[in-house]
Chains A and B, each alone.
Chain A
Amino acid sequence: MTALVFRIGVGTCGLSAGAAEVRRALEETLAAEGAAKSGSTVKGVGCLGLCFAEPLVEVGGVLYGRVKPEDARLIAKAALEGEAVAAKALAKRDKCVLKGAEKVPPLSSQPFWALQFRDAFENCGVVDPKSIDDCIAAGGYEGLRKALKLKPAEVVAQVKAVGLRGRGGAGFPTAIKWELCAKAPAGEKFAICNADEGDPGAFMNRANLEGDPHKVLEGLIIAGYACGAGKGFVYVRAEKPLAAQSVKTAVEQAQAKGFLGKNILGSGFDFDVEVRLGAGAFVCGEETALIASIEGKRGMPRARPPYPAEHGLWGKPTNINNVETLAHVPNIFRRGAEWFAARGTAKSKGTKVFCMTGKVNNTGAFEVPIGITLRDMVFKIGGGIPNGRKFKAAQSGGPSGGCLPESCLDLQLDYESLNEAGAIMGSGGLVVMDETTCMVDVARYFLAFTQSESCGQCTPCREGTARMLDVLNRIADAKGKATDVEELQRMGRIIRDTSLCGLGQTAPNPVLSTIRYFKGEYGEHVKGKKCAAGACRMGAKK
């Protein structure tokens, strides 16, 4: 009997699908078969991003999807005999040590895998996130070691050279943020990891922190070094408790190993990190609101400039990066600038994780080179629309984003192209909708979300979103007026142009973009008083 490692995904997705029972079944089987003697073990790992196949078990190079406890027993017994259970297998890795897997398709031949390129997510679903040694064996903290041999300005220069852009939404060049903070007058400075992932439909930050928290932490330490910060914070959304626990454990382990604390790796650089939990306010993803929240105040944004790089946490220069941005940093040093810049578009290098959900066969978190087409995302990676239905639209960027109709299927998913199409990259949420989805209902849903999450500080956002929602509710109740669509567009433009922060400025996007592409559907609601999809309160009148 050879020693086998049974990997089971125990991230939030996996657990929701029943991974805890599957894990127990695996452990019981291994114990009953006396597998401990051979050194075979069960390893809880993060998420491979293949949510549609959860619970996912990987052993000997064979991946099994949608595993039930009884399947797990069968799979474990067979694996201990050196056999695969081909009928239950999803795919196999290039290196497969089990017999009987000849007919199992290679993972590299599956579009949902082959079109991906994993950088931020490279160790998610592979390493045990609770073991820093496991993470180090997978190359963890090698990037930090290399970065600390450079001067801070050289670290900034390398990130600038590869053109890393913020993955939290706006795509601002990361190195420029670092440089501004580094050039601020010397003294106390802070580096913050923004893990307040509040965009409904996006969970890449959660998956990243659950699956490989050390990579994110390593990125934060490098950012701290580049900016001259002495203290870091990870601000995690409280609704994602597993991610918060994962990063807390990682911080303690990194402290024990000397990756945090005084004189890190003998470089003379001192840096420590504290984990703070958000308290459920979407607006706190906005950097100045996030800062207010760490300070213990109501999370309300303030006007910029001054930018946090000059005047941030407790008035000190502060650098804030998103989880995924930081997760890309280690490999820029470990594998090098050329490696990183080999993928992506001319203006946006590297990869981006998209969370694809909704009416699509393969749901999950997929890391792809920036610039992949929407068509490839939905039909190749996503495997198309279930139940033979037709693709209608995909909402990119959550409540701040916009919808992309069928005519946009060949659009490249990069910052500029998405903006031109009236959507945004945002955090990378991609909700797929089929012909049974009502676009007025979708717009109303998003606006209701931003309206209730508006912090209430500035009038255009507080009052404007409420008035727009009134109009949309009226339309949905079959009481729409002929001028309503025009009125929505007018209010949308005003809110966009006059709101204080990003939340308000982008709040009208879902409404404006659905009007842009589905004006006819609004017309049917307003004039014909009917909702073909039957989602609105007027019902499906033919």
Chain B
Amino acid sequence: MPEKPKLASKAAAISRKHAAERGALIPVLQELQEEEGYLKPESLAEVSEQLKIPLSSIYGVATFYAQFRLEQPGKNIIQICSGTACHVKGSKKVLEEFEKELGIKAGETTQDKKFTLLSVRCFGACALGPIIKVNDDIYSSVAAGQAKGIIAKYGDKK
């Protein structure tokens, strides 16, 4: 069992804020991830206690939805769209290039914790594919050969 956190934890505060809502679990997990970057085991235990939902059910939900992360992500999150339009326009090659440059596979984080590389579903900006998103910055019509330059922009950030 994870150690019981203090009552003043973010998980407790967020849970209590939504406790009266029906179907509060997903909004709580979303807010928690927004606050803490990912879903920590001790935070989930706290949510379980506050919302009176078995921890097993919470893990069931957290692992079902693609949005939730159970591991700490890198400082920069690179998302490569793998939607149909982007695929047809060559997003697979772009992804492979990022994998090569970073030395990791999609879904992984670099050892220095600087980058997490994700292959994601459609952003809905299909007309401008291949689309990639680094943190909140969007790059459209990305061609093979651009990976290095894009990574360099974020590489030195602490």
Contact = CB atoms under 8 A, between A and B. Distances in A.
B127 A51 contact: yes
Interface string B76-105: 000000111111110000000000000000
A281 B122 contact: no
A279 B69 CA distance: 11
Interface string B46-82: 0000000100010011001111100000000000001
Interface residues of B, number: 38
A239 B121 CA distance: 8
Given A13-B127, A203-B124, A429 B23 contact: no
B25 interface: yes
Interface of A: 12-13, 15-17, 51-52, 54, 197-203, 206-207, 238-240, 243, 276-282, 293-299, 314, 355, 357-359, 363-364, 395, 398-399, 429, 431, 433, 437, 442, 445-446, 455
20 contacts: A12-B124, A13-B125, A13-B127, A200-B83, A200-B85, A200-B87, A200-B122, A201-B122, A202-B126, A206-B124, A239-B123, A279-B29, A279-B65, A279-B67, A297-B57, A298-B61, A357-B88, A359-B89, A363-B126, A437-B88
B143 interface: no
Given A12-B123, A16-B125, A298-B61, A276 B84 contact: no
A362 to B, nearest CB: 9
Interface of B: 22-27, 29-30, 53, 57, 60-61, 64-68, 82-89, 120-129, 131, 138, 140
B121 to A, nearest CB: 6
Contact of B30 (A12, A277, A429): A277
Contacts of B121: 198, 200, 239, 280, 282
B64 A281 contact: yes
B125 A12 contact: yes
B68 A279 contact: yes
B80 to A, nearest CB: 13
Max chain A Cβ within 10 angstroms of own Cβ: one of B53, B124, B131: B124
A296 B87 contact: no
Contacts of B123: 12, 16, 239-240
A201 B85 contact: yes
A296 B65 contact: no
B128 A433 contact: no
B129 A238 contact: no
